[in-house]
Chain A
Amino acid sequence: MKDTATEPLLGRSVERIEDAALVSGRGQFIDDLPVATGTLAVAFVRAPHGHADIKSVDVTAATRAPGVAAVITGQDVTRYIRSMTVGVKANVECWPIAVDRVRYVGEPVAMVVATDRYLAEDAADLVEVDYSPLTAVVDPVRALADDAPVLHQSLGSNLINERRFRYGDPETAFDAAPHRIGIDVTYPRSACTPIETYGVIARYEPGEDAYDITANFQGPFSIHAVVARSLQVPGNRLRLRTPPDSGGSFGIKQGVFPYMILSGVAARIAGAPVKWIEDRLEHLSASVSATNRQTRIEAAVEADGRITALDWDQIEDCGAHLRAPEPATLYRMHGNMTGAYDIANVAIRNRVVLTNKTPTGLNRGFGGPQIYFALERLMDTIARQLGLDRLDVIRRNLVPADAFPYRTATGALLDSGDYAAAMARAVDEGGLAELYARRDTARAEGRRYGIGFACVVEPSVSNMGYITTVLSSEERAKAGPKNGAQATATVAIDPLGSVTVKVASVPQGQGHRTVLAQVVADKFGLPLDAVRVLADVDTMRDAWSIASGNYASRFAPAVAGATEIAATRLRDKLAKVAASQLNIGASDVTFDAGRIGAAQNPDNSLSFARVAATAHWSPGTLPDDVGQTLRETVFWTPPELEAPTADDGINSSLCHGFIFDFCGIEIDPDTAEPRIDRYVTMHDCGRILHPAMVDGQVRGGFAQAVGAAFLEEYAYGEDGSFRSGTLADYLLPTVMEVPEPVILHHETPSPFTPLGAKGVGEGNCMSTPVCIANAVADALAPEGDAPNIVLPVTAAKLAPLIHGEEPEPKEPVPETKAEATSGGRKLTGEGRALVQASREDVWKMLLDPATLDAIIPGSHGVQKVDETRFKADVTLGVGPVRGRYKADIELSDLDPPNAVTLSGQAVGALGTGGGHGRVTLTDTGDGTEITYRYEAEIGGKVASVGGRLLDGAAKVVIGEFFRALARHCGGGAGNGPIARLRGLLNRIAKGGRT
């Protein structure tokens, strides 16, 4: 029996079948799907503090607001669900919404369900939450200190898990080695930030106690179990569906699951279906990010650069809650802690720490960037300290080509590769010699130019058991073994004999449907468009398992492989059916050009559709051993993915691709701006199924890595305030920042996957950040000790390294006293105003609530509490963001009628503010000069989204206050009858309103 005689589709860059709809505006993303009439919108009230106790939540006003169906607090939610499962043994609760304490800015505190999103957000502003702020901790090392504020009292500290591992004999290796070389590495927080945000549509059927949830969730579907358990229903009472299209994920959309739970509860309480589409501020502040990590890595090194042992000490920051599947970021690479190198002895200490930042989750590269940044910076350091060529150090340590399949010290089984050959080809075809020449020329001209290298093993198809490596072997024995990576595929034939493929791969834009059509069309000898593919999931209808979904680069190796197996099984059965109809042997049957026929006699053939549909129309004519040919569902799990061994060895992934990158970077001598001159990336991802899609994955991962290397960081103040809440603060690379890399391929098929393919999507997120860092280090210091490089490598960070620290200004700005609550956005300013009134009159006005109400910009009323205390209700805006605040104002240091200090605290839906100012009144003869000096600090949403505008906005608002005072007195800068008239009208208008 032969496969199709025409040129196979697989391996060719056919046009994507997804694209005609997507370029025409006919995609079916979550927010495009039709919803039931009467579906309500959800808006969230979120924490403005990084760490605070919730004293009370008053929903009275919000409940009465127009269009509101329900206002739901964290306490309400706890009546319907239980705490989400945590992946380590620890006495800690993990709720999807804050219950009695908020632990990161943006944490959900309440939900408002209303007839539309505009009304829901209006009402969310009316929910009054009384917080008692606590000291926050955002740095994972500080979070471990004895005196650090503890996020979860039940844990007793912020250390939620610690494990030590020992493989081989690291102590002896370190003792025997002539060199012990180590570095400390700080890896920051960033995220791959899809352009489409989270979205959930949920309904609840009380008659069956069943939730029906559609979300742009990407998997893994092990999370289905987490959600069902939290909702306290059996798995069959949680129908989870995904939309046909998803606007990118890169891991991030795994993190939508707490909102699946919350939306389900909201639908249940509101008694109607609900829909929630996350906005960008919500996404940046409260979806998920990658982990930030502090690492100490040391190597035992021979004189020639050969490494005999590694010692890792990793402190992983998972944010405020350890959400499933964390701490997976720390353990996904556990089998690969030796990278591409043959190192027999390894010691590892892993600590998982909680801080007042957004909980972490899946993110492209998942654990790889953090590991390889440390390991490849170490390789660079070893070469520097021993005076060796950096490529020689890499070469001497590579896993040799004849060693595959190679078992790493920590348990991974590297499936295939020829690392040295791939590297040699990259050096040659990527033009490294020319790049060295460019560097020499640049340096001869006094320019700062560096070359960096990175060598990476890229794991794909995660072992569902790797996360259990976080448990001790005793705990694992008690819980039962976890392992495998079930992939599923169904190939079905309808009564007209056409072919449908269903998989649970949940693509987020990668073109899965096209590749599967290639696989199956080839198998049946059909044209590409004869095969229809569905890749979205409905857990009540489709074949799926916990490993289903779109993560760990599992599509090409696992899902396409399972599809290949299903199509082959069906084809073999159809060959038997055809053989009986054509009166030939099954081994003589060919599938080609839409027909099934005899290999030796082209005239003896039948249409594919006719043979394929036989089982529908005349099942009685099928050969006895065929069964049916209607549908073939395959579940495939690779036997190599075993549970962790008793001594903590873990084959954490099935496939291991190889990447070798090098790049040239020049640092601008004036601006210190780093620029990529040339970037070369060599990939061995096994057999390539669709070359253009593979290169698309490489370019996409590379661009995100360029962002992580140069631009992106989730920025937090020490008080936990979040400072990168817009895409103008969290900078993503544009077409101007992303050069086109030189992409090279070296194919060594995987022996462990049906098609020989390995994953390819994540590698550059692992290799590129450190390759760039190594090049920057080379540019800054060609020899000797390298500077500590912390991403993102911005001009602001590099400038002091090439220009020295910025000199103090000649006329120093007077330092104002800093208050204890440092970390927020600090604003200071001063100004003066002239008014045509006596000091006594101005003094009275400043103490009169009616006058204050008239002149405070955006005031909705000022109440006098006592002689020196006022309450005000004001609307303030910064840029496009406006919000209503409740302010407490206190007067102190009264020196009537000369001076007074005003102190205030304001709290609103947009955040918090506080400050104090000294106002001085001076008699000018025909009026009074008011001078003021203030210092204020702002946190919460305003600080997140309007940080760059705050200084200017504060000046405008405060200036407006004094101009209004001047107008009120009938004087000021705009002196004259018009100003007086305006003042009068202003008073009338205010009077008329109140």
Chain B
Amino acid sequence: MPRLTKDEKPAVRFTLNGRAVSPEAPPRMLLSDLLRHEIGATGTHVGCEHGVCGACTVQVDGAPVRACLMLAQQAQGCDIRTVEALAEGPELSPLQAAFREHFALQCGFCTAGILMTLDALFASQPEADEATIREALSGHLCRCTGYAPIVQAALAARNRIKGGPIDA
């Protein structure tokens, strides 16, 4: 990664939800701020800016990453997915639909990060058992639901994704 001085503001070229983007970002700008305030992808939320709450989780090259702990410039050349990419067209993805059916969200502020973590989990481990799902969820804080409906929604989504088309 090139060395930058603080007054430079070079373009960061990366793929966001399948589309090439190249916003400018000073070296110290966080990826979360770039996504939200420069690009306008406000579906990714910021809850703590120190990597604990998990609200800002996005996928970087398929892996869940805290966007508040990553500099925008580090996204150079990466493939980034955010919650805005989960639904294809007007239909909710099986994971999103399961969250709605199971009342797995109330205020919805932490939800984007949780969805991105679970989406990455099921992509790599479609058979993930409840313990694995809980382990993945333990990196996220939700203040509204008490978590039980989130676990139920995750299990339902896993079953649906498994039983559905392979590329779901």
Contacts and interface: CB of A to CB of B under 8 A. Distances in A.
Contact of B134 (A29, A279, A735): A735
Contacts, number: 164
A13 interface: yes
A31 B143 contact: no
23 contacts: A15-B101, A24-B84, A24-B96, A25-B112, A31-B42, A32-B42, A193-B143, A195-B55, A195-B107, A195-B142, A196-B45, A248-B107, A280-B47, A509-B105, A509-B109, A700-B106, A700-B143, A727-B50, A727-B53, A734-B137, A734-B141, A735-B140, A880-B50
Contact of B103 (A13, A196, A246): A13
Interface in A784-801: none
B160 interface: no
B22 interface: no
Given A699-B145, A699-B146, A20 B92 contact: yes
Given A700-B143, A727-B48, A740-B148, A510 B106 contact: yes
Interface in A393-416: none
A248 B144 contact: yes
Interface residues of A, number: 52
A726 B50 contact: yes
Interface string B27-46: 01100000010000111111
Contact of A511 (B106, B115, B149): B106
Interface in A495-534: 508-511
Interface in B113-148: 115, 134, 137-148
Nearest to A726: B50
A25 B82 contact: yes
B41 A25 contact: yes
A304 to B, nearest CB: 38
Contacts of A909: none
Contacts of A126: none
A13 B102 CA distance: 10
A250 interface: yes
A16 to B, nearest CB: 7
Nearest to B115: A23
Interface of A: 13, 15-16, 18-20, 22-27, 29, 31-32, 118, 192-197, 245-248, 250, 279-280, 508-511, 692-693, 696, 699-700, 702-704, 726-728, 732, 734-736, 738, 740, 880, 945
Contacts of B83: 23-25
Interface string B50-81: 10110100000000000000000000000000
A693 B145 CA distance: 10
Contacts of A118: 26, 28-29
A428 to B, nearest CB: 23
Nearest to A197: B47
Q: Which 7 A-B pairs have the closest CB atoms?
A: A25-B43, A509-B107, A247-B109, A22-B108, A699-B146, A703-B146, A25-B83
B161 interface: no
Contacts of B47: 195-197, 247, 280
B141 A194 contact: no
Contacts of B150: 735
Contact of B99 (A13, A23, A29, A280): A23
Given A25-B83, A25-B112, A700-B145, 20 more contacts: A15-B101, A22-B107, A23-B99, A24-B84, A24-B86, A25-B44, A25-B82, A27-B43, A194-B107, A195-B47, A195-B142, A247-B107, A247-B110, A508-B107, A509-B107, A693-B103, A699-B148, A700-B143, A738-B147, A945-B50
Interface residues of B, number: 53
Contacts of A19: 99-100, 105, 108
Nearest to B41: A25
Contacts of B44: 25
B49 interface: yes
B138 A700 contact: no
B78 to A, nearest CB: 19
A59 B36 CA distance: 31
Nearest to A22: B108
Given A280-B48, A726-B48, A192 B108 contact: no
A696 B103 contact: yes
B29 A27 contact: no
Nearest to B26: A118
Contact of B108 (A247, A279, A735): A247
Contacts of A735: 134, 137-138, 140, 147, 150-151
Interface of B: 26, 28-29, 36, 41-50, 52-53, 55, 82-84, 86-87, 92, 96, 99-101, 103, 105-112, 115, 134, 137-151
A309 to B, nearest CB: 38
Nearest to B105: A22
B52 A248 contact: no
Contacts of A736: 134, 138
A23 B141 contact: no
A22 B28 contact: no
A290 to B, nearest CB: 14
Contacts of B99: 19, 23
Nearest to A194: B143
Contacts of A193: 143
B38 to A, nearest CB: 11
A118 B29 CA distance: 8
A197 B112 CA distance: 16
Contacts of B101: 15
A23 B105 contact: yes
A390 B127 CA distance: 47
Contacts of B110: 195, 247
A196 B49 CA distance: 11
Nearest to A730: B52
A27 B106 contact: no
Nearest to B93: A23
Contacts of B29: 118
Contacts of A15: 100-101
A692 B103 CA distance: 7
Contacts of B144: 248, 509, 696, 700
B148 A25 contact: no
A105 to B, nearest CB: 18
A27 B146 contact: no
B43 to A, nearest CB: 2
Contacts of B49: 279-280
A13 B139 CA distance: 29
A728 B52 contact: yes
A796 B47 CA distance: 29
A509 B110 CA distance: 11
A29 to B, nearest CB: 7
A684 B115 CA distance: 34
B79 to A, nearest CB: 18
